Amino acid sequence: MVQSQATLDRTFAALSDPTRRAILLRVGGGSGVPMGSLSEHFQMTLTGFRKHVRILEEAGLVTTEKVGRVRHCKPGPKRLEDVTKWVATYRTLLEQRLEHLEDFLERTKGTP
């Protein structure tokens, strides 16, 4: 549980930044985008851009691979699996609570 919590924290931290979310959108589901051409869409140094990519890599959201002299960025193996599972669990919990509230309101209807 602790390890999965740490993984989830890393994923949410990576997704909390608008630049990193934009990088994920640009990487998309493709087979890889050259880092140089990917970085051109962001107004920052290549070093700053690489830092964002490294955070996404640590969260398992992207991977990078050097092909010849060019480093490519592509979707990672984890993608958003951890977040999807967490949201599904949280959604179930909220739905149960809403059902309990609905039952309570129905039972107390008309009670002063």
Percent of the chain with pLDDT over 70: 96
- Please state which CATH class domain 1-78 belongs to: mainly alpha
Domain boundaries, the chain: 1-78, 79-111
pTM of the model: 0.77
Contacts of 46 (CB under 8 A, 6+ apart): 35, 36, 39
Q: pLDDT by residue (tens digit) across 1-40?
A: 445 888 889 999 999 999 999 999 999 877 789 999 999 9
What's the half-sphere exposure (Cβ side, CA atoms, 13 Å) at 88?
A: 6
